[in-house]
A and B are shown apart, each in its own frame.
Chain A
């Protein structure tokens, strides 16, 4: 008996489910029709915008085999959780605490710096990456292989203060023998004793017409390089305390521009460059000019 009573209940239940499915099916069909109409409207707008001939319109009802499958029953999303209350950050108190902390750090650094004594240690930065081309390497090897005899032939005419003063004086322009006499303070053969090595080395020329002395391009270069050599040697020999500053970042006189930019005035400010053996990546071009 119980089985007989349960069967009509199941039938009713199935019937209700079928009714629901039909209702869902109807609603899906309506939605599908609505989507189709929207698509047709969009296509019409596109065709008008492109000024193309209107496309063939599909009939509103498609064959049954082209109909979309029934959509699964709609699932309701869970309700959104309630929004948390807005967080409030007290910026003023945070800024005050940071300020206090920085003040304390500054005091600590000041105390630490006052306790440090100067030490005679030169700190240089990390060495630059030396990427030299073959020609540059070849040139450097050629320079480093110059024997002392050749160096002496170039340097020895400069090894006298009077000769260096003569070169310095002639930088302003050609001078006569009398002018050099009055400037140097040497007369006659003693002055000739200094002029002859400079002429033999090609550092000065004597004009035969008026007897004037001209400093040549090699002479000017040799004097400038002597100045640079002096500055380099003195820099290495001077203790750090006497100069009162870090020599590793000291500005160095540049002679490479004198070598190449011969048109510039010697007193013009020139760009800083490192010397040959303290290369930095930025100074490789200047080093190449050696």
Chain B
């Protein structure tokens, strides 16, 4: 998918929510710059320059209670939202003063910087998100990168070296130390490169895994890639990044 930045740069006149679902919300501050992203002359998303507050409920309601956590952070710099976004009512075309306030010389400069961000993100093998699916890519104050994929009641979040996959009543958490799986009936499975423990129904187990790490459960760290690039790498390798049906 080759994305182009629209030549018209907009600015928000008030606080607005370009992304708002049951699981996640993004609140964009006033005087933020943004422009449409075009694919084959069709609007497929927006690129934003400005500060925004993001909140994500990485919480799954299992039969035994809720698991997970709620994450809040501040987005800064450029961030990209793919999917249906409607911010026209809270925005107007940016004036030179608005651009200079944001540290941008003119609209061409904004377009060049946004295109560089798109080039860095590499959407070459990414397809346009289907209806009901939204993808957010950006940088936060505390995390080097953030990727959020929302589809109806399900979400995938890459944040601070952790990857979360939340279904309707189950949660998978992948980190550098291992994987934690919370089942819909409250069972928990924790695996690390050489250890596994967990409980399901009335069974509790705690076992050592005598397996070489390169064949084991160290999914988060393939030997040929740095740790922090793994989720992003996987996301880029897939054609459209994520299939929401894989979450149980």
A residues at B contact (CB < 8 Å)? 173-174, 205-210, 214-221, 257, 260-264, 289
Contacts and interface: CB of A to CB of B under 8 A. Distances in A.
A207 B22 CA distance: 10
B209 to A, nearest CB: 20
B67 A216 contact: yes
B147 interface: no
B66 A208 contact: no
Contact of A208 (B22, B55, B64): B55
User: What are the 8 A-B residue pairs with the smallest beta carbon separation, nearest first?
Assistant: A262-B186, A263-B185, A262-B64, A214-B66, A217-B65, A208-B55, A220-B65, A260-B202
Contact of A209 (B70, B184, B187): B70
A207 B64 contact: no
Contacts, number: 76
Given A260-B204, A262-B187, A209 B66 contact: no
B69 interface: yes
Contacts of B30: none
B70 A206 contact: yes
Interface string B55-89: 11101011111111111100000000000000000
Nearest to B20: A209
B25 interface: yes
B91 to A, nearest CB: 23
Contacts of A207: 57, 59, 70
Interface in B3-25: 21-25
A209 B65 contact: no
B56 A209 contact: yes
A221 B65 CA distance: 9
B40 interface: no
B66 A174 contact: yes
Nearest to A264: B63
